[in-house]
Structure formats: C-alpha cells, structure tokens
Amino acid sequence: MEFRHYSVMLNECIDGLNIKPSGTYFDGTLGGGGHSEEILKKLDSGFLFATDLDDDALSSTGKRLEKYKNFKAVKSNFKNFLKVCEDLGVDKIDGAILDLGVSSYQLDNRERGFSYMADEVLLDMRMDRSGGVSAYDIVNGYDEKRLRFIISTYGEEKFAQNIAKNIVLEREKALIKTTGELVKIIDKSIPYKFKRDGHPAKKTFQAIRIEVNGELDGLDTVIKDIVGKLKVSGRLAIITFHSLEDRVVKSVFKELSSGCNCDKRYPCVCGKKEIVKEITKKPITASDDELTKNSRSRSAKLRIVEKL
C-alpha cells in the first residue's frame, strides 16, 4: 500500500512560507510528501530536509522524492530538530512546516489500529512501529485513575470516568486486543443522547493516540528551537487538528511575538523583545472547496509566524 496523504491547505502553506529558491527548509512531518514536494519544486540551489517516524512514509515517499538531489529524509521525531540539524550540518534555515495530524494513510491502513472504524484490528497506534508503548499496552496496563486522566485530558471526553471504569472491568474478564472491542466498551459507556455529535469513540481514540506517541510532549520547546534557527524573515507554518495542539502553538506564538510586558508608566526592566511577528492574526482554515474534497480538513488550523 503506497503511503498517500491529502496535504491539508497545501497552497496556503506554500504561499505562507514565502519560499526562496536558494533557501534551506525543514518539513518535520514528511508523511506522503505533499508539502515537501511543493517546496522542492520551488527550490533551485536550495535544500530541504525532512523527518518522520513512520517507516512506511520514509520508504514510499523517500523513494518518490529521490529524484530531487537537494532533499534528505531522516527517521526521527521532529522534536529532535536541533540534533538533526547538527547531524546534517545545518546552521540556519529559511522556513519550516509541521503538519501535526495523523496521515490519511495511517487512518485508512486499518492494520495500524488508529481508526475507530476498524474492527478486528490489533490495538497499536504507534507512529514508529519499531518500539515503544502501544495502545494495547495502555488499554490493558494503565490503572483506572491514569486511564481516566488521559481520556479526560487528551480527549476532552466528559464520560472519561465511565469509559476508564468499563475498560478495567472488561479487561478483568479478558484482555482487550482489538479496536472493535475497545469501541464497544466506549459505546456502552456513553449515554445515547450524547452520541449524536460524531462517533462516540473519537475522543478516546484521540486521547490514547496522543499518549502512545507523546504528541504534546515538548511541542512548545521544539517550536522555540525551530524559531531560534530561522533566519531573519524566515517563516514557520504549523497545522494543528485539535484544540490541545492549537492551544500550545497559539500560546508559544503569542509569547514569541510579545515584547516588553512591564508597567508602561515606568522604564522597561524586562528587556523582552519580539522575536517573531504573527502572519496569521487568526488561524487559516480550509476552504469550502477543500472541505468537499477532504472532510478531515474541517478541524485543521494553520498558523504562521515570521522571524524578526
């Protein structure tokens, strides 16, 4: 199965990066390579390097983009950005993009265990299948209190307590092995009248996936790392798909774009200066035309900053 992914707000991202043909760029979430390929098309003497944890993405997309001699893909978490730069001898960059969503390939390839629409599929949800904790380990290993915390915090699920309790009760009878088994437990944990707004398992699956892949861990730090490597006028574009990610991005961008916060009646003593300016005062969202082609774009928000 070829690694294919619909690149959300592709034109908006490429336009927002304001690409220089001789520039150096970073794609922290290679995936199907849609954003990377469009960046490469605009480069002549420039260079693009990308990271991903998914072996399928690196193999399929890497092979498709190998015709570009000014491209390098690395198996790594984008949060290791500084180490990747060091290994490649990259000092400064002209721009970077992070698409924080799960790829269409990962959702549609049901054996990966990301989708609540699957049935007899083993619980996995790992971006990097070569190691680490899987969804199976979390569902069958976390105690009720910890399960309730991640489902409530990362899924913003109001029935987290019911779901966690029922997971523990069911796994005492037999280990929960498949996505279908987990969906049934979640479904019976939520009152019928609250099942009208989307699939009842959506929030819990999101929560477990975030926990499996540590998606929020260090996100604020890597944003600052990338901004620190940007040249003057360099840009960082980030696409988020749920409120938790967007909250982090919005907060860091606001912090970096804010100057002196001292009492204006007195001379500044903090010395804080704006590091970036926000190109998008409000996040860009998918157009109606894009939504007709890809409904998964509905929750996407694009924010862009420029280095001062």
Cross-strand partners of 75: 52
- Going by pLDDT thresholds of 50, 70 and 90, the confidence category of residue 220 is very high
Q: Which two tokens stand for residue 171?
A: 């796994």
Position 3 scores a pLDDT of 52
- Cα 276 from Cα 294, distance rounded (Å): 32
Q: What is the dihedral of CA 26, 32, 34, 37, to 10 degrees?
A: 60
Q: Quickly tell me which residue has 């523990």 as its tokens.
A: 168
Phi, psi (rounded to 5 degrees) for 196: -85, -20
* 8 A C-beta contact, residue 5 and residue 34: yes
At CA 296, angle to CA 291 and CA 297, rounded to 5? Answer: 55
* 8 A C-beta contact, residue 132 and residue 212: yes
- Going by pLDDT thresholds of 50, 70 and 90, the confidence category of residue 228 is very high
Q: Quickly tell me which residue has 């299948």 as its tokens.
A: 129
- Please report the domains of the chain, with CATH numbers, ordered by start residue: 10-100+218-307 (3.40.50.150), 108-213 (1.10.150.170)
Residue-wise pLDDT tens digits, 3-19: 555 689 999 999 999 99
pLDDT(120) > 80: no
**Sign of the dihedral defined by the CA atoms of residues 240, 243, 247, 253, in that order:** positive
- Cα 28 from Cα 97, distance rounded (Å): 6
Q: Which two tokens stand for residue 149?
A: 């915390």
Strand ranges for the chain from DSSP E: 24-27, 47-52, 71-75, 93-99, 230-240, 276-278, 301-307
Q: Say which residue, 306 or 32, is predicted with more confidence.
A: 306
- Cα 303 from Cα 308, distance rounded (Å): 16
Q: Quickly tell me which residue has 């890809």 as its tokens.
A: 294
Who's near 297: CB < 8 A, 6+ residues apart?
6, 8, 9, 286, 290, 291
* 8 A C-beta contact, residue 300 and residue 285: yes
Mean pLDDT, the chain, rounded, equals: 93
Residue-wise pLDDT tens digits, 78-118: 999 999 999 999 999 999 999 997 766 677 677 788 888 87
Residue-wise pLDDT tens digits, 266-285: 888 887 889 999 999 999 99
pLDDT(71) > 90: yes
Phi, psi (rounded to 5 degrees) for 88: -95, -5
Residue-wise pLDDT tens digits, 236-269: 999 999 999 999 999 999 999 998 888 888 888 8
Q: Quickly tell me which residue has 């699920």 as its tokens.
A: 157
- Neighbouring C-beta atoms of residue 73, cutoff 10 Å: 22
For residues 165-181, average pLDDT? 97
- Cα 60 from Cα 1, distance rounded (Å): 9
At CA 163, angle to CA 157 and CA 164, rounded to 5? Answer: 105
Residue 68 C-beta-side C-alpha neighbours within 13 Å: 24
